Amino acid sequence: MTSFSQVAAGITCKPGPTYGAILRTFTTSPACRESFEHDTVVTYSQLKTMLATGDIQLFDVRSPAEFEDGHIPTAVNIPLDNLEGSLKLSPEEFEQMFEVKAPGKSDTNIVFQCKSGNRSAKALDIACLLGFNRARHYKGGYIEWIEREEKSL
């Protein structure tokens, strides 16, 4: 009989696709499939337009310390580690905790952002699994935001 450790010793682990890529490929949930059929990335120009019109629910998933060091106007800080629990709150609890209207699962103006786009992509995966099927993320993150804003001055 071959033990698990003997079998596992011969397995080579290689870098693979991200969790989000696997989710998009293999999910059987129609809601999640639908969410990846639309454009999930918001560009700098799109973000600027959304901010100018006020048609955005922008959630910064960085740490509170990062948020305090600077953030995109109107962004609400919900650290990635707290996101799932926060999105599961009742609308009343969410509004009490964050002092903004709770996002709705079918809202098209939900945008997650972080420093460089990695955590916001994870936030998008979490939101999708919770039924926020039209959420998107700002891939450029706060780094791109600052660079582009400084150039426009």
Residue boundaries of the structural domains of the chain:
40-152
| Phi, psi dihedral angles at 4 (to 5 degrees) | -60, -40
pLDDT for 130 equals 96
The pLDDT-based confidence of 43 (bands split at 50, 70, 90) is very high
Calpha distance 121→142 (Å, rounded):
14
For residue 59, the cross-strand partners are 76, 112
- Look up 114 and say whether it is catalytic: yes
The pLDDT-based confidence of 38 (bands split at 50, 70, 90) is low
Calpha distance 5→125 (Å, rounded):
33
Instruction: Supply the CATH classification number for the domain 40-152.
Output: 3.40.250.10
Q: What is the SS3 assignment for 113?
A: strand
Taken in order 19, 22, 28, 29, the sign of the CA dihedral is positive
The answer to whether residue 29 scores a pLDDT higher than 80 is: no
Q: What is the pLDDT of residues 88-128, one digit of tens each?
A: 999 999 999 999 999 999 999 999 999 999 999 999 999 99
The answer to whether residue 33 scores a pLDDT higher than 60 is: no
Q: What is the pLDDT of residues 77-87, one digit of tens each?
A: 999 999 999 99
The pLDDT-based confidence of 20 (bands split at 50, 70, 90) is low
Residue of 13, 32, 114, 128 marked active site? 114
Calpha distance 88→105 (Å, rounded):
11
Closest CA to 94 of 59, 67, 122, 69: 59
pLDDT for 19 equals 52
Calpha distance 127→35 (Å, rounded):
10
Total number of residues shown for the chain: 153
How does the average pLDDT of the chain come out, rounded?
84
| Phi, psi dihedral angles at 139 (to 5 degrees) | -65, -35
Calpha distance 23→89 (Å, rounded):
24
